[in-house]
A and B are shown apart, each in its own frame.
Chain A
Amino acid sequence: MSRNERNISSGVDFTIIWLYAILVSVGILCIFMVEYRADTNWLQSFLGGKTNYSKQLIFAGVCAVVATFILLTDSKLFTAFANLMYAFGILLMLATFVLGKNINGSKSWIPLGGGFNLQPAELCKIFTALALAKFLSRQEVDFSRLRSQLIAGAITMAPAVLSILQHELGLALVYSSFLIAMYREGLPAQILIIGSSFAILVVATLILEPNILAVILTVIAAVIIFLLRRQVKRNKGLLTLIIGIWLLCVGVQRFVVPYIFNNVLECYQSTRIYSMVGKEYDCSENVKARKKSASEKPVRKPDDYNVRQSKIAIGSGGLLGRGFLKGTQTRGKYVPEQHTDFIFTSLGEAFGFTGCVIFLLIYLFLLYRIVKIAERQRSVFSRVYAYSVASILFFHIAVNVSMTIGLFPIVGIPLPLISYGGSSLLTFTVLIFIMLKLDSDRQMVLR
């Protein structure tokens, strides 16, 4: 029991803690920039607890307490309870269907009373990371086998599917980031390649005319057959495979993608994705929109206002930015949801390209540091968990920043540690500090 007598700081990676602290501070400053009004006493409102930046400060305090608490616990706890917590998380998500409260059109919140709401999908990220780590660290699991891959997939997909059912597409997408962690653990690269090829096909479907794309696909297939004509002669199976793939691609392009856009996605989601590639989506083809317009009020035509204003804000920053509190886009509240999902714009406008790059470098440094920590773990559990943390952070950062600069359709994904929001801040704090705790105990042999 000598470990328990050790100082809690021993073995903890202070680089991460510093980065964490810097990012949280930057976040509060960014929210301050967004909410600042020239005519109020900022010190007073900082302490008043009424404004969002002051609330975020309180959240940060709570997070500090939670972080300390995590560092004080025994890391065995996380391995021991991983599956249980996962089950609990799934249960909570199911519970939202019964207890759920509608906030901003998504029914993914459980009211806790006192004005606080819990979003189980956020928490589930932690639980899923733990559960995945737990599963992959089992002695009997051989990740090169398809069966294990499918089980791991199921572990990550279950909360994702539940999120989609709660109309939280963004949160659902986050679960795909576990692919990176799984890839590190030996998931065949082919899956990623096939996955990205599919993504390219989908994008091509959006951009190109259906007929032109079909012709291109046919030409590609023909060229491949021509190049491989000797092999094809010897092996008829190859020909069948190529033709099969060709058929599949054309099928996807012709039927699957339009089906998804018209029948699975909401009208606004399809519109956002189409506006990414600079096209307009006709909502009258959307089944859900039709249903809605039949029953409720007519579907408002959404435009790319958010992205446009966000790009203007970032673009107007120039090289050095407009200066702290001087951004006109921010001050004029031109960017909707600027304190949450579009917080990056305030930074981009105030501090320009230089500020953005420094900020991104801090993030990149954090990610690399986590990867480094992951690689120094002796236990598979800790490593998988650390990779999951890195992947989740990376996915959030990449998607959030990309959507503010117009590289990705708008999905409601917060910028880790920066965006306003207690749930989000707490989730990332817990994610990171569990990893730190595991890391500080890396000398222990965990399973």
Chain B
Amino acid sequence: MPVFHQNRSSIVRIIFACIFLAITGQLVHLQLLSPGYKAAADNNAVLRKVIYPDRGIIFDRNRKSLLENRLSNDLTVIPAEARGIDTIAFCALLNIDTAEYKKRMRDLIARNTSVKPGVFEALLSPAVYARLNENLYRFPGFSLVERSVRSYPYHTAAQVLGYIGEVDTAFLRRHAGEGYEQGDYTGMNGLERSYEKILMGQRGVVCYTRDNKNRIQGSYENGLYDTAAVAGRNLYTSIDVEVQQLAEKLLRNKIGSAVAIDPQTGGIIAMVSSPGYDPEMLTGKERRKHFAELLLDTAKPMYNRAIKGQYPPGSTFKPIMGLMALEQGLITPAYGYPCNGAYYNCGFRVRCEHAEAGHAATLQKALAKSCNSYFLQLYRMTLDNPVYGGAENGYKKWEEYVHAFGLGVKPGVDLPGADMANVPTLAKYNAALRGPVTGCNTLTLAIGQDRLTASPLQMANTMCIIANRGFYYEPHFVDSIENETAEDKGLLGQYRQLKQVTANRAACESVIEGMYDATQYGTAAAIKIPGTDYCAKTGTAQNPHGDNHSWFVCFAPRENPKIAIAVIVENAGFGSRWAGPIAGFMAEKYLNDSIPASRMAEVERIASADLIPAALRNWYRNREKPAAEPGTIFTGANTLVTGITASTFTAAEDQPQRTNLALSNEQPVLVNNSKKKKERSR
């Protein structure tokens, strides 16, 4: 049979070749020109597990851990890769609705851009974690990151320890090249922030291969790309957790602060700012909610009053005034001032609490009785000291001296944001007074009023100086660091360096004598530390915010002092009434290791006393009112509801954890609703 269409054989071959060429073309496109596929394959199969090092642990002076690490899992997401996932199924896994999903995605993109990983849900519960782990392959862009989370076995010292939070873009920009990555945590405040470099350690990476069901198949390339994690180093602080807890308890329901320092080392034993909060609030799942609550709280629980608070020191400044006069040779300890209840020498009257004759016959007595006139006189003598020629030069000298005591100087404490408080400079005063400074127009500086302010930490430090008879170590928390390096030694060096304020031991002894007398028959006589002689000075500082602040500074024991304390309770009246006992119990706890049961009732009394200013209390009350006012129901409801809130408020106060205002505020609302329902059903 003749062969027709022979030429078609070549056409068939050409068709074959063309199709194969097309296939080759696509292969060129896929294999040679699209590097993305390789990345996609790695993304599929290589599980780059970041090994977060354990952050260093912070111990107290008795090697009790103030905070620890607990393992948890975060769900992170790269929003750009998560587009087009089955949102409904995903939300069902997490028990959220799609609106919430969208909102979180929007937030993440706004915070981190859509190509960087961000935490979609932090601290998953084990059940959610298991559910997610099983189904994660269906949701590209999402991954689970194991990380250790802080936990606080003693629930204490929140403002000192600070908290950790996720780094943001701005932080990364500031700290480029320091090994931070999106999604990392960093110390945001307190010691966590000050010692971030030591606590953070070094992140490690382990690459695994995984299969389509997200099961790990083994290491990738035999660990070629792995790096080991280096754990953060521990900090050993001078905090005594029991004293800290006691101080927090005593300051409950009060606005105020307490600082205790070991004068022999400068190590801070306790630092409390009240109201505070439970540090656990800023670790768990509800972190963000709690954070907002704390931020919005008018009493500012996150504000560390111990280092930021600026209070007029009031009478607690008098020992410094006395010391200054003695050192400059203006007076001898036997110098007396005939105070009869007020100081008139400037043409106006400055009141003194005492009117009986001879209460300021000597420096010792004046300190013990806290005579205003005596120290006003010393101040005038200082400024008008003929040696300096003129009040302005005298003021400069005074200012210099006060600075030497650490007032008006930024403390070197190892917490971020310590305030220098205020010792007005001469220039500022002159400007403010529209004339030169004289002993009279700045008179009340002598008794710690006028524009003089100090933080509780600074006041505690002045106590250290007096207790040490003239020197101090910069107050600090961290005594030593695990595996201390040369760099750490440099860092801690400033805290190990003795700072001499005055070499005049005799002058110090005279002041101490007066402060001791204060605890014997003077203003602090009511406060005793069993078995210990101690020295103290009370303060009742006038302030523009309401009732006088109650101040108390002391150190104990008198010889070879081990603890120096400053306590302030805002708007609480006389220093000996509230601040004094608090300081006393702190010293007792620290020195005697325990407080006898017979005295515990007094501790409880102080702890349960509510000295929160009325304005704040009103604010809390309003916040705890239910959001929906029953305006449409009968008129009686309104008064009824307010009545209930008031009563529930006191109920909340009785709860032991009064610091957790935010936590306890849900309960009253519930009670309200149920009552309302009953009302309606009737």
A159 contacts partner chain B, Cβ-Cβ < 8 Å: no
CB-defined contacts of A318 to chain B, threshold 8 Å: 31-32, 38
Q: Report the nearest B residue to A445, measured CB to CB.
A: B1
Contact across chains for B31 and A360 when beta carbons are under 8 A apart: no
Contact across chains for B211 and A334 when beta carbons are under 8 A apart: yes
A150 contacts partner chain B, Cβ-Cβ < 8 Å: no
CB-defined contacts of A406 to chain B, threshold 8 Å: 26, 30
CB-defined contacts of A375 to chain B, threshold 8 Å: 6, 9
Interface 0/1 of A303-344, CB less than 8 Å to B: 000000101111111110000000011011110000000000
CB-defined contacts of A364 to chain B, threshold 8 Å: 16-17, 20
What's the nearest-Cβ distance from chain B to residue A139, in Å? 8
A234 to B23, CA, bound (A): 46
Contact across chains for A329 and B41 when beta carbons are under 8 A apart: yes
Interface 0/1 of B1-32, CB less than 8 Å to A: 10011101101110111011011101110111
Contact across chains for B12 and A328 when beta carbons are under 8 A apart: no
CB-defined contacts of B45 to chain A, threshold 8 Å: 328-329, 331-332, 334
B42 contacts partner chain A, Cβ-Cβ < 8 Å: yes
A363 to B13, CA, bound (A): 13
Contact across chains for A328 and B4 when beta carbons are under 8 A apart: no
B105 contacts partner chain A, Cβ-Cβ < 8 Å: no
Classify chain A's interface size.
35 or more
Contact across chains for A316 and B41 when beta carbons are under 8 A apart: yes
Contact across chains for A316 and B38 when beta carbons are under 8 A apart: yes
CB-defined contacts of B46 to chain A, threshold 8 Å: 328
Contact across chains for A407 and B23 when beta carbons are under 8 A apart: yes
B521 contacts partner chain A, Cβ-Cβ < 8 Å: no
A120 to B23, CA, bound (A): 30
Contact across chains for B23 and A328 when beta carbons are under 8 A apart: no
B598 contacts partner chain A, Cβ-Cβ < 8 Å: no
Q: Which of A2-10, A264-272, A351-359 contacts the other chain?
A: A351-359
Q: Report the nearest B residue to A322, measured CB to CB.
A: B41
A368 contacts partner chain B, Cβ-Cβ < 8 Å: yes
A431 contacts partner chain B, Cβ-Cβ < 8 Å: no
Q: Which of A179-187, A222-230, A252-260 contacts the other chain?
A: A179-187
Contact across chains for B26 and A183 when beta carbons are under 8 A apart: no
What's the nearest-Cβ distance from chain B to residue A295, in Å? 24
A89 contacts partner chain B, Cβ-Cβ < 8 Å: no
CB-defined contacts of A334 to chain B, threshold 8 Å: 44-45, 211-212
Centre residue among A184, A332, A352, A407 by max chain B CB count within 10 A? A332
Q: Which of A391-405 contact B (CB under 8 A)?
A: 394, 398, 401-402, 405
CB-defined contacts of B20 to chain A, threshold 8 Å: 360, 363-364, 398
Interface 0/1 of A4-27, CB less than 8 Å to B: 000000000000000000000000
What's the nearest-Cβ distance from chain A to residue B3, in Å? 8
A406 to B30, CA, bound (A): 10
Contact across chains for B212 and A314 when beta carbons are under 8 A apart: no
A38 contacts partner chain B, Cβ-Cβ < 8 Å: yes
Contact across chains for B12 and A183 when beta carbons are under 8 A apart: yes
Contact across chains for A186 and B5 when beta carbons are under 8 A apart: yes
B40 contacts partner chain A, Cβ-Cβ < 8 Å: yes
B209 contacts partner chain A, Cβ-Cβ < 8 Å: yes
Q: Report the nearest B residue to A39, measured CB to CB.
A: B218
Contact across chains for B31 and A314 when beta carbons are under 8 A apart: yes
A405 to B32, CA, bound (A): 13
Contact across chains for A183 and B41 when beta carbons are under 8 A apart: no
Q: Which one, A311, A331, A379, A394, contacts B19 given CB within 8 A?
A: A394
A402 to B24, CA, bound (A): 10
A367 contacts partner chain B, Cβ-Cβ < 8 Å: yes
Contact across chains for B13 and A368 when beta carbons are under 8 A apart: yes
Contact across chains for A332 and B37 when beta carbons are under 8 A apart: no
CB-defined contacts of A94 to chain B, threshold 8 Å: none
A407 to B26, CA, bound (A): 8
Contact across chains for B211 and A184 when beta carbons are under 8 A apart: no
What's the nearest-Cβ distance from chain B to residue A129, in Å? 16
B397 contacts partner chain A, Cβ-Cβ < 8 Å: no
Q: Report the nearest B residue to A394, measured CB to CB.
A: B16
Q: Report the nearest B residue to A352, measured CB to CB.
A: B31
Contact across chains for B44 and A329 when beta carbons are under 8 A apart: yes
Contact across chains for B32 and A319 when beta carbons are under 8 A apart: yes
Contact across chains for B41 and A313 when beta carbons are under 8 A apart: yes
Chain B interface mostly helix, strand, loop or mixed? helix
What's the nearest-Cβ distance from chain B to residue A327, in Å? 8
Centre residue among A180, A312, A333, A364 by max chain B CB count within 10 A? A312
B217 contacts partner chain A, Cβ-Cβ < 8 Å: yes
Q: Which one, B5, B15, B16, B31, contacts A353 given CB within 8 A?
A: B31
CB-defined contacts of B211 to chain A, threshold 8 Å: 331-334
CB-defined contacts of A353 to chain B, threshold 8 Å: 27-28, 31-32
Q: Report the nearest B residue to A334, measured CB to CB.
A: B212
Q: Which one, A180, A333, A367, contacts B212 given CB within 8 A?
A: A333
What's the nearest-Cβ distance from chain B to residue A46, in Å? 21
Q: Which one, B19, B42, B217, contacts A398 given CB within 8 A?
A: B19
A367 to B15, CA, bound (A): 11
B676 contacts partner chain A, Cβ-Cβ < 8 Å: no
Contact across chains for A312 and B40 when beta carbons are under 8 A apart: yes
Contact across chains for A328 and B9 when beta carbons are under 8 A apart: no
Contact across chains for B40 and A315 when beta carbons are under 8 A apart: yes
Centre residue among A318, A387, A394 by max chain B CB count within 10 A? A318
Contact across chains for B31 and A368 when beta carbons are under 8 A apart: no
B210 contacts partner chain A, Cβ-Cβ < 8 Å: yes
What's the nearest-Cβ distance from chain B to residue A376, in Å? 11
B36 contacts partner chain A, Cβ-Cβ < 8 Å: yes
A394 to B18, CA, bound (A): 12
Contact across chains for B23 and A405 when beta carbons are under 8 A apart: yes
Q: Which one, A311, A352, A360, A371, contacts B23 given CB within 8 A?
A: A360
Contact across chains for B30 and A315 when beta carbons are under 8 A apart: yes
Contact across chains for B28 and A331 when beta carbons are under 8 A apart: no
Contact across chains for A328 and B30 when beta carbons are under 8 A apart: no
B98 contacts partner chain A, Cβ-Cβ < 8 Å: no
CB-defined contacts of B31 to chain A, threshold 8 Å: 314-315, 317-319, 348, 352-353, 356
A34 contacts partner chain B, Cβ-Cβ < 8 Å: no
A380 contacts partner chain B, Cβ-Cβ < 8 Å: yes
Contact across chains for B30 and A405 when beta carbons are under 8 A apart: yes
A317 to B28, CA, bound (A): 11
Contact across chains for B30 and A180 when beta carbons are under 8 A apart: no
CB-defined contacts of A317 to chain B, threshold 8 Å: 31
What's the nearest-Cβ distance from chain A to residue B84, in Å? 9
CB-defined contacts of B12 to chain A, threshold 8 Å: 180, 183-184, 371, 387, 390
A314 to B46, CA, bound (A): 17
Q: Report the nearest A residue to B86, measured CB to CB.
A: A301
Contact across chains for A331 and B209 when beta carbons are under 8 A apart: yes
Q: Report the nearest B residue to A360, measured CB to CB.
A: B20
CB-defined contacts of B218 to chain A, threshold 8 Å: 38
* Between-chain CB contacts (< 8 Å), 7 pairs: A312-B40, A318-B38, A332-B44, A348-B27, A357-B24, A363-B20, A405-B23
Q: A186-B8, A332-B210, A398-B19 are in contact. List 11 more A-B contacts (CB 8 A).
A: A137-B1, A314-B27, A315-B36, A315-B37, A328-B46, A328-B209, A331-B217, A334-B44, A348-B30, A363-B20, A407-B23
A-side interface residues toward B, CB under 8 Å?
A: 38, 137, 139, 180, 183-186, 309, 311-319, 328-329, 331-334, 348-349, 352-353, 356-357, 360, 363-364, 367-368, 371, 374-375, 379-380, 387, 390, 394, 398, 401-402, 405-407
Which 4 A/B pairs are nearest by Cβ-Cβ distance?
A: A315-B37, A328-B45, A316-B41, A332-B211
